[in-house]
Amino acid sequence: MPVPDPFIILHVAAEEVQTSPDYRFDNAHREAQSAMVIQRTLGGAAYFTDVGGRQLVTPGHAMLFTHEEPTGYGYPPEATEPYRLSFVAFSGRGAQELFARLRADFGSVVRIPDESEAGALFDEILGRYQRRQFRDRLHESQLVYQLLIALYREQVQGTRMSDPIEFGYHYVRNHFRSPVNLKGVAQKCGVSREHFIREFSARYDESPGAMLRRLRFEHARAMLAATELSVQDIALASGFASSNTFCRAYRGKFGHSPGARR
């Protein structure tokens, strides 16, 4: 049986200008090859529809979708100027989970300003595709994956002012392996520690402290099972201040020492 290809395949990257309401697509009935698509608005606007309704995708934003899903997009009937767009379409197991996570956390319409890292990577992918300048498939995969990572990071940063509690949620999830504490996280969010804990707990049904401990324990248990690293190295790599702190917390949580896990 052939081994599934883990690398990303870039199918097409192009720019277009649309001026007619006849430009519309129902992704549930696409005959094109199944793919993940990032479609960026350069001028004018497009509409995007999903189960949440209809929204406009304006310059500085992009729509994310896949073929064979119940979404749609097109030229808005009320538009008064051309819709200028660029898009990249790709497939591959290496991108599927990250693409899905990006949409699950931030929706199918995301920010991608011209001056952003994601914007620069998008332009590089488009340019290299048009000029056939990828070194090889690994280079192609690397740039698309970097684009997805940059998009995710920039959506997280975008929540810092618009929704500091959500920003804190992503900050904890992305920094739990560092020696962060709730006071420091709340300061990053621009709110008090008490407000952060109260609002976080109400929204996510878990306190930020409990989430921080859970993520650290999950990471440590995975390392205990999969590596031969010392307990001290695993403790520090999982965000605990010391091996003693880790061992006490671990025994209190699971009723045995980390060494017994092995």
Specify which residues 17 forms β-bridges with: 84
pLDDT above 80 (res 245): yes
pLDDT of residue 2: 67
Instruction: Give the right CATH number for 9-159 from 3.30.465.10, 3.90.1300.10, 2.60.120.280, 3.20.20.100.
Output: 2.60.120.280
pLDDT digits (tens, 9 = 90+) for 35-77: 999 999 999 999 999 998 999 999 999 999 998 899 999 999 9
pLDDT of residue 158: 93
pLDDT above 90 (res 6): no
pLDDT of residue 93: 87
pLDDT of residue 12: 95
pLDDT digits (tens, 9 = 90+) for 134-168: 999 999 999 999 999 999 999 999 999 899 999 99
pLDDT digits (tens, 9 = 90+) for 78-106: 999 999 999 999 999 889 999 999 999 99
Portion of the chain with pLDDT greater than 90, in percent? 89
**CATH 2.60.120.280 placement within the chain:** 9-159
pLDDT above 80 (res 197): yes
Specify which residues 37 forms β-bridges with: 65, 89
Global confidence as pTM? 0.88
CA distance 144 to 36: 11
pLDDT of residue 177: 95
Mean pLDDT of 218-240: 94
Name the DSSP class of 258.
G
Q: Which two tokens stand for residue 46?
A: 């497009």
pLDDT of residue 136: 94
Residue 32: pLDDT band with limits 50, 70, 90 = low
- Expressed in angstroms, the distance from the first to the final Cα of the chain is 34
Mean pLDDT of 182-198: 96
pLDDT above 80 (res 214): yes
Whether 46 and 108 have beta carbons less than 8 Å apart is answered as no
- Cβ neighbors of 199 (< 8 A, separation 6 or more) are 165, 191
**CATH 1.10.10.60 placement within the chain:** 164-261
Class of domain 164-261: mainly alpha
